[in-house]
Amino acid sequence: MQGNVAVTAERRLSPNEAEALWRSWKTAKDIKARDRLVMSYAPMVRYLASRKARVIPSHYDLDDLISCGLMALMAAVDRFDPVKGATFEQFAWTRVGGAIVDELRRLDWAPRSVRRLERETNEARDAYQLREGRAPSEHELAATLEIPIDDLRTRLSELERADIVSLSAKVHTAESSPAEIGETIEAPLDNGDPETSLLAGERSDILKRAIAQLPEREREVLTLVHVHLIGGAEIGRMYGVSESRVSQILASARERLRLAIDSYDAIYTAA
């Protein structure tokens, strides 16, 4: 398609009108017919993406989901077959919705089981707050979920590890336009203190050595997630393991790094 597909307020097409446009494109390669078909259903893409955006973590970018959905819509134009019985709208709805869900899974390293627990926990917390007018304590939340307190703490720990926020995520500031999270993080002030600068450099060296000493698989997974920003599902396919296993490997790597830093900090504090 030439140019970008804009999301416009095109009049909703009837099934017969949509099929007529599709046939003009399919048989006569009428680009204007194809463009009108895509632009007529572009609002549907925004609707599906926005509906997903209400229930996904804030670091997902709505525009990226819309772009993914538009690509699926254009592909649907080429793959539609009225002989199979569905209208173009039904076919496009299924293709676009599936593409958006696939994109979310690709971007999310956490296994679906963790996301299911996250939804369940948030729903229980919201229900308690609506009923009691305040947020629940750990024991109250565990009782609402009907699970032991130790199981709740394990679950919350897993959810915390799964909460990765991109530094490129948009946040609203006092300025008129949104900024990226990375732009709002101030550089630490050491007031020119040589000792502070030296300790920061030593700490960085400790972390680098700890990363270099990680088992090969843990080091690779850590790099894929935090450097290349590859999701857990895709990493699992690369290594032939489950998403849960990828989550375990990543958690193990982070724990090793935490212990290395804690050991260094303990030595410095004792000194």
Contact (CB, 8 A) for 53 and 62: yes
Q: Look at residue 115 in the predicted model and tell me its pLDDT.
A: 72
Ranges of beta strands (E only) in the chain are 170-171, 179-180
Question: Which tens digits make up the pLDDT trace of 91-140?
Answer: 999 999 888 888 777 766 666 677 788 888 888 888 888 888 888 888 88
* Sign of the CA dihedral running 106, 119, 150, 164: positive
C-alpha span between 91 and 250 (Å, rounded): 39
C-alpha span between 68 and 32 (Å, rounded): 22
Q: Look at residue 114 in the predicted model and tell me its pLDDT.
A: 74
The single residue listed with the structure tokens 């593409």 is 99
Q: Look at residue 161 in the predicted model and tell me its pLDDT.
A: 62
Among residues 176, 164, 168, which one has the least CA distance to residue 63? 168
The alpha-carbon radius of gyration of the chain (Å, integer) is 25
How much is the pTM?
Answer: 0.45
CA angle 231, 155, 221 (to 5 degrees): 25
Backbone angles phi, psi at 179, to 5 degrees: -120, 165
Tens of pLDDT along the chain (271 residues) come to 333 333 334 567 888 999 999 999 999 988 899 989 999 999 999 888 888 766 555 556 677 788 888 999 999 998 998 888 889 999 999 999 888 888 777 766 666 677 788 888 888 888 888 888 888 888 888 899 999 988 888 888 777 666 554 444 454 444 445 555 455 555 555 555 555 555 556 667 777 888 888 888 888 888 777 766 777 777 877 778 887 888 888 888 888 888 887 776 676 655 5
